Amino acid sequence: MEQRREANVRSSYEVDEVYSDLYSTLSQVTSTTANDIEQLLFSFTWRTCFILLGATVGGLLFGYDTGVISGVLLSLKPQDISRSVITNFDKEIITSITCVGSFFGSALAIPMADKYGRKMTLAYCCIVFVLAALLMATSMTLTFLVFGRFIVGIAVGIAAQCVPVYMSEISPSNARGTILTLNSLAITGGQLISYIISFFFSSIDQSWRYLFGLSAIPALLFICLLDFIPESPRWLISFGSLTKAHESIKIIYPKATPRQIALKLKRLIIDINKMRRYQDVEEPLLRRSSCFFFRYNHSSNSLQLLEEPPTDPSNSEVFILPKNAGQRSTRRRIHRMEPRAKRALTVGCVLMFFQQITGFNAFMYYATIIFANLKVENPLIPAMAVAFTNFIFTFVALKLVDSVGRRSTLLCTVFIMIIGLLLSSVGFARTDTRLIITSLLIFVAAYASGMGAIPWSTVELLPLNRRSFGSGCISCVNWLTNAIVSMSYLSIMNRVGNEHTMMIFVFFAVLNWIFVYFFFPEVKGLSLEEIGKVFENGIDVHYVYRNYH
């Protein structure tokens, strides 16, 4: 066994030498940054905007189906679900069961995204959204409604895991933070839409059925437009589909030249294969009988898939990719994880834990109940103000993540979150409705500008061979923590009071700031492959500043 392991390591280093030679000898294309797509300004054409819009449908449904519960709880009558009374515990179950379903959905999405691809996984997810919408809208009992909420939770969990993975893999490094934040914008937009629809449907009898049923429309739209959305080129390359990967890159970068596309494809192939060095493979990577050969011809600016190496490579670039590399990688993904991937995954999971434990979704789910207890005439109006603030300040995150950076944004916004929570505690203690609303809006604005978006983008910290699994773990942490908070918030509020509940959230927000300061690295401007260097020896939080500033 040890001899075989040593042989595998030698083979791994031999592969690195081959790729090193490729980089040095094939310099005709790589000599200038003008041919590097990553260094060019990303073009938001109608086609790329359409792709991003389609990819964010999952986030939109995620936000709608989690935010709509606030309006549902306000309009739901006991007789609608064959009950004599709806207790706080019933409300907690109806709300939190979606988070439980999302936990299982995130775990289910891990093998689905690797086996069927990011694009098809999102398609299956939308089918589940449609089925769940029908189940919830036609529920006649509490049990049936809870089951429907569990099913929609599975779809939400799949979307929460797969959308960030897909968007990170189709984004250039200089716009990745912005594009990943579009998913958070879709989530907050979905929540805002759910509040607006709840407001306009509030006078209709059993309006909650319409609120649930409407969520099927965006899912059906995504399924109809599936053919226009490309698969992730990184996933295609990992499964040996070079020709499809080439076509996918052409769609994602419509203004790129053939030479730029060839360079992008070559770098992805080399980086993905070099990544296999960290896996415990049982056979050499390079065998002529099990390799693809791909050639870029300078004279004609053309790409060609070959069965054998070219006999005259004088004016060609040849790329080598083992067939079925992705399948071998998938079988070993869970059994072995390199230390740098473990560190990156830990950072992502802990930051996601803090995203939920600081209480934001408790306000989103139970906003109408909180304001109803404060004797507000129409609880949906301040709840809509909270959702609108969340949506608007997500644009701030959109602006800051790539210009200011993830780390600096979090350090500033988490501090403001602490101030907002402290003020809300004072407001609840004095029963000052204006102070409560103002402080909650401060908290929500700061949250949306940083913690609402950035934890979802931590999938970019993970290497390709762990991205689907790691994204699933991060998403599972989100939903497990979310379920705990949403399942206990009303009970804790009734037992210790709102002012003390806010102080519990303050405690976790302070821990959140400390964690970001010591353990969250800045990665703005780094390619997905270069991010791994940040975690090679511990967590180098100042890697970007030391090397590029």
Instruction: Give pLDDT, residue 79.
Output: 92
pLDDT of residue 110: 77
Domain ranges of the chain: 46-229+336-548, 244-278+280-335
| Residue 429 vs residues 422, 435, 497, 505: alpha-carbon distances, Å | 11, 11, 9, 15
pLDDT at 283 over 50: no
Residues 521-537 have pLDDT tens digits of 888 777 766 787 888 88
Indicate whether 353 pLDDT > 90.
Answer: yes
348 contacts: CB under 8 Å, gap ≥ 6:
455, 458, 459, 461, 462, 470, 473, 474
User: Which residues in 46-58 are b (16+ Cβ under 10 Å) and which e?
Assistant: eebeebbbbbbbb
Question: Residues 311-320: what's their mean pLDDT?
Answer: 52
Residue 318 has pLDDT above 90, yes or no: no
Right CATH for 46-229+336-548 from 1.10.390.10, 1.10.600.10, 3.40.640.10, 1.20.1250.20: 1.20.1250.20
Report the range of poorest mean pLDDT among 46-50, 59-63, 148-152, 250-254: 46-50
Separation of alpha carbons 388 and 411, rounded Å: 23
- Name residue 317's beta-bridge partners: 296
pLDDT tens-place string over residues 46-65: 777 778 888 888 888 888 98
Q: State residue 440's pLDDT score.
A: 93
Q: 365: closest CA among 60, 71, 136, 58?
A: 71
**pLDDT surpasses 60 at 7:** no
Asked if residue 402 lies in contact with residue 175, where contact means CB atoms within 8 angstroms, the answer is: yes
pLDDT tens by residue, 388-417: 999 999 888 877 777 788 888 999 999 999
Q: Strand 291-297 and strand 302-306: pairing?
A: antiparallel
Q: Which residue has the higher pLDDT, 259 or 441?
A: 441
What tokens appear for 115 in the block? 């086996």
The residue behind tokens 């059925």 is 209
Say yes or no to pLDDT of 15 above 60.
Answer: no
Who has greater pLDDT, 184 or 144? 144
389: which 2 tokens? Answer: 């603030």
Q: Report the predicted TM-score, pTM, of the whole model to 2 decimal places.
A: 0.72
pLDDT in tens, 365-395: 888 888 888 888 888 888 889 889 999 998 8
Cβ atoms 400, 409 nearer than 8 A:
yes
